[in-house]
Amino acid sequence: MKNVKLYENKQVLVLGLAKSGYAAAKLLYSLGANVVVNDMKPLEENETAQSLQKLGIEVICGEHPLTLVHDSLFMIVKNPGIPYTNPILQKAVQMKIPIITEIELAYQISDAPFIGITGSNGKTTTTTLIYEMLDMGHKKPLIAGNIGTVACEVAQMAKEENYIVTELSSFQLMGVSSFRPKISIFLNLFEAHLDYHGTKKEYGLAKANIFMQQTENEYAIINAEDKDVVDLSKQSSATKVYFSTKQKLVNGASIIDGYLCYFGEKIIHTKDIVLPGEHNLENILAAICAAKLVHTDNEAIRTVLTTFTGVRHRLQYVGNINDRLFYNDSKATNILATTAALNAFSGPIVLLAGGLDRGNGFEELKPYLTNVTALVTFGQTAEKLIATAKEVGIKTIEHVDNVEHAVPVAYRLSNPGDVILLSPACASWDQYKTFEVRGDIFMDAVHKLK
């Protein structure tokens, strides 16, 4: 960990707790900052705030008083989920007080280089693939960010020989200024989180912060098939490495005669890869680029790709019961993710879908339902999904109370050789605290069938 003097005796406000705020507050306190923590959850219900208070850190809970922003305030470290419309942040912007997220703090103290991964879809899978490839290749990776441990905790224990592999959201990347990963990856850009960012353009610019500080000595891995990503990357000075599932590339990773290749070098044949889905070929190609850039040997890469079956809750293979294949794709919280899951299979699918109603319809899902022989739906969007299924001619439709009830019904409606796929196309919050809880309930129900 670098001996950072920047925060000594400086007034720093940590806005919002959760895991990242807690870690940031403790780190800043250890760096000599005068830390104030502000969280909306009342102190008597807030064990995290209470534990910081015991360390001697000032905590203010239950409200966001504007008096926390003043001329002596050096910086705000905010929880990524807090929007910039928050009055405290608006006042700080007016007063030109810097606002960062915890990932910027992690970068400032880290002795290890970062490999940062962003994009609308595929981040978790790609991050995990890179970590596994580097680990298999004895490159001493550490995983951090949205999966794994909070980045500034990982950075405190990282050494120069490590690589910190971290999944990064647009919310995190809005709060960086000096963050400069050794390798950045921008997978794709689709309309998402517009309630936070306002427009797709602003959303894209937030994600593009991943490579804006890079120089020609660092690398940006870019999806050659995504025009928005390619256009944004032109603003970066990083050395570009491209990947594509459609073009044969000489300056990156692509598919040539059935082989995944890196700068023309054959790595593995597509038939030997166990992770399903064409969309995952993009994630794999991006991961290969990162692994090769840190000199991971091909055998390590091949070993991972012939054994890695998916990230938990992301097109995760659950099991085979009487020739029915069960997949848990609970992380598919939007239509785009579900279309990718449906595209991953060529045979008949029994689809389990439904969840939080955000006001959207499911018209965009229609072209991808051709292989769906039966729909089992639940949650607030059940009626909308039923209407969509009827419009495309799906005759077998059942409405159930929840995911647990959906599993035995789906099995009853299935035939040998079918895929039974939980891919909700909706967030989970109408019935479940997180998509992970929803996915765990699905898997438990599958195991009960056995």
Matching residue, tokens 């023309």: 264
Residue-level pLDDT at 193: 67
For the residues 147-175, what does the mean pLDDT come to?
A: 93
Annotated binding site for ATP: 119-125
> Per residue in 361-394, pLDDT tens?
999 999 999 999 999 999 999 999 999 999 999 9
Question: What pTM value is reported for the model?
Answer: 0.81
For the residues 341-351, what does the mean pLDDT come to?
A: 92
Q: Please give the backbone phi and psi of residue 424, each rounded to the nearest 5 degrees, phi first.
A: -70, -25
Comparing C-alpha atoms, which of 280, 337, 17 is closest to residue 128?
Answer: 280
Helix (H) or strand (E) holding 60: strand 58-61
Q: Does residue 240 register a pLDDT over 80?
A: yes
- Least confident span in 8-17, 196-205, 208-217, 368-377: 196-205
Q: Please give the backbone phi and psi of residue 183, each rounded to the nearest 5 degrees, phi first.
A: -135, 125
Amino acid letter for position 291:
A
Q: Are 129 and 273 in contact (CB under 8 A)?
A: no
> Given 3-state DSSP classes, what are the helix, strand and coil percentages for the chain, each rounded to the nearest 5?
35, 20, 40
Q: How confident is the model at residue 407 (pLDDT cuts 50, 70, 90)?
A: very high
Q: Does residue 192 register a pLDDT over 70?
A: no
> Per residue in 98-109, pLDDT tens?
999 999 999 999
- How far apart are the C-alpha atoms of 292 and 304, rounded to whole Å? 14
Q: What percent of the chain has pLDDT over 70?
A: 99
- How far apart are the C-alpha atoms of 257 and 280, rounded to whole Å? 18
Neighbours of 125 (CB within 10 A): 27
The full set of domains in the chain, from first to last, is 11-99 (3.40.50.720), 104-305 (3.40.1190.10), 316-449 (3.90.190.20)
Tell me whether residue 160 is exposed, middle or buried, using C-beta atoms within 10 angstroms of its C-beta: 0 to 12, 13 to 18, 19 or more. Answer: exposed
Annotated binding site: 119-125
**Residue with more model confidence, 193 or 33:** 33
Q: Where are the alpha helices (DSSP H) in 42-136?
A: 47-55, 87-94, 102-109, 123-136
